[in-house]
Structures are given as C-alpha cells and as structure tokens.
Chain A
C-alpha cells in the first residue's frame, strides 16, 4: 500500500496552470452569481485553498479513497469488445467499480470533508442520472450530515432505482417540475435553496461547471482517475495511449481522466457528447458541437441557447448527459484545439452498451456507453496498432429499465438482437 500511497490519491494540479485567480480558463469560467452567494462561494474557495495544502486533509481523503471507495480502480483490457474497434487495444478505467458505482464518489468525499471543515451541517446537491445524488447521500450518511437532493422530475422517473437508493441512505429527494424538468432545472432549484440556507448549507456541486472555484475544485478531486490510469496503462501496455476517451455532460469524469495527460502532447483527449436523436434533429445535448459561448449556472462556457440568450432544452436518453452546458475547462480545451469533442447519438450509445455487455460481461451506464461508442470509432480510425483508454465512468444498474424498454427485454427472450437499431 505504501507504494500506492506515496503517489497520492488527492493530487491538485501541481503546476497550477489554470484557472487564473478569477477562475478563468482562457475566455471561459468566472463567477456570474448573485451577490447573496458571493460570500459563500468565496468561503468555499478559501477553505479549499487551505485544504489542498494541508497534509492532514490529503491523508484523510486518501484513507477514504482507499478503504471506503476501493481505489485504485481496476484497469481492464477488453479484447472481445476491441475486436469491433478495428482491432485496436482498448482498456477501460473501471470507475464503475468504485463504491456507489461511479466516479462521482471521488469529488463527493473531498467536498464532504470540506463541508465539515467549514462547520456546515447540511448538504444540498443536484443530480441528473442520480449517481452524484447517490454518492452525496452516501457521504452524508457517513459524515452525519443532513442531505437534500434536487432532481428533475423526468429524471426521477427514468432513474427510479437511484431515487430509492438516495432515500434509503436518508436523503430527502426533491423532484423539480420547472423548465425542462431535468438536470439544468435541478441545478436552478439547488441554487435557490443555497441562497436561502447558506449559513448552514454547502452546495456540493457535482460537476466541473458552475462558478469558480467549482470547476477547478471538482477537477482536482477527480484527477486521481487519470493519474492512476496513466500509471496503469504504462505498466500494462508499455506506452501511453493514442487517445483517451470519456463522455461529457458537465464534464467531470472526462476532465478527471484528461488532466493527467494534458502534458502528453501525443495523447489525444476525446470527449463524447450526447447527440440524442442527432445534432441536426434539434433534440440533443451536444453543447460543444452545437452550442455558443454564454453564461449558465455561474460561469461562461459553451451553452445551448437561442439567438437571444434563452437556454434551450436539451435531450439525451442519458439523464447524466442531458445538460445544456459544459465545464469551462472543456470549452477552453476545445477552443485551444487540445481537446476533441464528438457527438454520439442515443442509438449508437445503446448499441455500444449492449456490445460491452455481450462481449465482456460489463454493463456500463448509458453515459459511459457514449464513450464506448466513441472508442469504437477511434479504434477503426487508428487501426490494429491503436491503443485507447476509455473511462468507464459508471455502471448500468440504474439504467436497466431504460435499456429494457429500448431493447424490448420485457417482451420476450428472443427479440433483442434487432431491436432498437
């Protein structure tokens, strides 16, 4: 264990490249929030700045990451799946094997420790797929904090299992019926709660978006994904991958994977966005492909909006990617050319989900299945010499109802092959 620990699990960006002191990644980021939240956001920033230099904080977080979350997470080579990817070698970083079933726990444990340091006794959070909500409810149970989770009404229906999990863990789940009744509206409602209850409440933001310092703070808590994966693939494959791939909704699992490879100029950073029914259909959540710079939820980034700055309603079969914004660091990576972002439709994601299940015995979350679909394309482009690292950000248990309906699994045992294609 000492070898692993000496590398550390909690590893804030050592070079401090971005963001700048105002929270900007190039032209993106900043702090566009109501004055009433200014003091609270500054408190989070100040406390995080102290914590990230505090060895006791890192030690406590590392202890949790090893003995509670189960880090380091495995790296799995998927040969039968890769046969469909042009013969390239494909490795999966298994964030689905973390406690609670996704990468979200990395950030949640870090912010739960921050909550305690700030002396706050109540946590609120938004959730789309329910993975961040479940992770937050879990940490609140562990730390003895009151917990309220905001979730769009549509998402409470399509991720009913996670609603039950959160309630089992003692959290209050509030269905949000305003706007598009999905993740964006859950965030709006969480901000409304925070502004009214800020004295005792921490908003445990779940992705690398939002006002500064959240994009940097959440990223730092997820850097462990890429740091581990980089070391693991060097050991296993003997070289760096040609591409690392991850799905992007808000962008937290992707930035967590990408960050350790930023300096490896030969490694392509590929984010896969939810294209829903197709980017041209108007029903999608492909923010970097089809959005324009604007302000949503406290920072400047790409957003899906109309010509007068009204946010348009996104769509994806995946609740976790069904968001009209994107973390500002991804916007910066896109504009600088360092990151590549590609759209993946519902159908392609669902086919990749089933392919991984049938070839490897791993049922991924629908979110992560977008990254798998992207990897199939990348593999065909790279050919047999290619080496691809994919972040399997979460497991698919929560999506079984959606998948069962999509593939008609409830109908009869033998109708699944052609269904949904």
Chain B
C-alpha cells in the first residue's frame, strides 16, 4: 500500500480553493492510552481538523514545552511502541479519511530503520513525516524511501533561517512547509509572534509549497490571525492540554478537543 501524499496535497489545494487556511491538529500517540489517543485524534478530525499530525513520543523531546513533554512521558511510561503509533495512524485515517502525518524526532526512525519506518507508515495509510531534528543535509536516504512509499517529507523553517537556507530546505521538502512562528519550543502563547508573517513571506518567495504555521497557536482568534497570511494553521499543545484537563474523564476530553477543533475551524474560515 502506498502512502497518501496525494490526499494531503488535494486537501491543501481544496482549502486554498475555498480561500482559507487548512486546520492542522497535532496529537501524540499513546496519550493517555493508545485507544484513548485514537479517540482524541478522531474527535479532532470530526470537530474540523483538515489534517492530523500524530506524534511519536520520544524520551528526549528537546523541541517540546511542558505540555507535550508530559503527554510523551505518560505515553512512554505506558509502554508505547512504534507499532502502537502506526496503529493510531491507521485507525484515525480509516475512521476520518483525513490525511495523517507522523511527527517525531530522528533517533526513533533511525533506530527502527528508515526504509522500514517509511514502509510501515505508508502501509498504515500515512501521508508523510515531519522530522524537526533531521537536517536537510542528512535526509537523502529518508527522502528516497519516503518518495518511494508515497509519503511527504515536511521540513521545518524558523525565523532565524536565512533566505538561502529557506530555498535549500523548501526545494527538498514536499507536502507543505512547517513554519515555526517563533524562536522557542511548543506550547501555547498569549500572542502570535510578529516573526511569523515575515517568515511566511520569505518562505513563499522561493517555493510553491503551501506554508503552514505552527507553535503557540491555541485559540480561534489566533488561528484567524495566522490564517490571514498562511496556508495552514497548526495547533498542538492546546489539544493536549484539553485532554490533560480531563484526565479522569476521557469522554469529556474528547468532547473538549472536538469543541476546540470546531472553534479553530471557524477561526480559519473567518480570516480573509
């Protein structure tokens, strides 16, 4: 079975055709359990996420703030395995039909085997991978495997990326470009960084790929603000926080993430 990069591309195109940004939701697999994680991610799509990113938790999440660290920790202490992550991708995609990417640090993929991981993700119906600590210079072998299996490779750009480097990164990427809105780790912020719009403008100058903005977006107002200038709005910690708030009542947690997805989906539709 081939990966679903085609579905990812068409969803992003459709959003563009509707003159709106796509809503992309991140959720870590295995939190608080594998099945409850599948339920939460499914609810995010039902609530209005166009695209999902399933996190493969890592013991050393250097790019993540306290909320996702906590979720990763709970997932790993629960004995999460890569097979569980792939099952999450498969079941969420099957239940919702939305494109599902995997987001993780490089060591788990490297250790599992690059080709083996690409094959497994494609077989689960995955659309691609976001690997924020895999630099483009080290990515040849992975990208070959991803391409062969119909998977997108989404690279991250940052406000500190110089124009020449933006060009090199976007030339190697597929699916979309993940623009980090600010210099920092994941987590909710009070305001949208001013760097974000400038980064989107500079990134677009060198690529036709959609440019989606993540880091720090947590509510409908911020989503609308970002959706005014980006092709997609990525929200993660705010969803995870909803589930953390309802640790004792997963059903209430699912309702909360569904509701948040709905608010954000309205946000990205009221921006332009």
A residues with CB within 8 A of B: 22, 30-40, 178-179, 184-185, 188, 191-192, 195-199, 292, 294-298, 303, 305, 307-312
29 example contacts (A-B, Cβ-Cβ < 8 A) are as follows A33-B133, A33-B135, A34-B63, A35-B156, A35-B158, A35-B161, A36-B156, A36-B184, A38-B158, A38-B161, A38-B165, A179-B59, A185-B60, A188-B61, A192-B185, A195-B183, A195-B184, A195-B185, A196-B185, A198-B160, A295-B133, A296-B60, A308-B111, A308-B112, A309-B58, A309-B112, A310-B76, A310-B108, A312-B59
Inter-subunit contact A294/B111 (CB<8 Å): yes
Min C-beta distance of A179 to chain B, whole Å? 7
Inter-subunit contact B183/A36 (CB<8 Å): yes
Min C-beta distance of B56 to chain A, whole Å? 9
Inter-subunit contact A311/B60 (CB<8 Å): yes
A292 neighbours in B (Cβ, 8 Å): 111
CB closest residue in chain B, given A313: B59
- Greatest chain A CB density within 10 A among B76, B157, B160 is at B160
B73 neighbours in A (Cβ, 8 Å): 178-179
B202 neighbours in A (Cβ, 8 Å): none
Partner of B184, one of A30, A32, A196: A196
- Greatest chain B CB density within 10 A among A36, A39, A296 is at A36
Inter-subunit contact B106/A295 (CB<8 Å): yes
| Given A195-B183, A294-B110, A308-B82 contact (CB < 8 Å) | yes
Inter-subunit contact B135/A195 (CB<8 Å): no
- Within 8 Å of chain A (Cβ to Cβ): is B138? yes
* Chain A contact surface mostly: mixed
In the complex, given contacts A307-B111, A308-B82, what are 11 additional A-B residue pairs having Cβ atoms less than 8 angstroms apart?
A: A30-B138, A34-B156, A35-B135, A36-B156, A36-B158, A39-B162, A192-B62, A198-B160, A295-B106, A296-B60, A305-B111
Inter-subunit contact A309/B161 (CB<8 Å): no
Partner of A36, one of B65, B81, B180: B180
Encoded as 1 (CB less than 8 Å from any A CB) or 0, chain B from 112 to 141 comes to 100000000000000000001111011000
CB closest residue in chain A, given B132: A34
- Within 8 Å of chain A (Cβ to Cβ): is B237? no
A188 neighbours in B (Cβ, 8 Å): 60-62
Min C-beta distance of A297 to chain B, whole Å? 8
Inter-subunit contact A35/B180 (CB<8 Å): yes
A310 neighbours in B (Cβ, 8 Å): 58-59, 76, 108
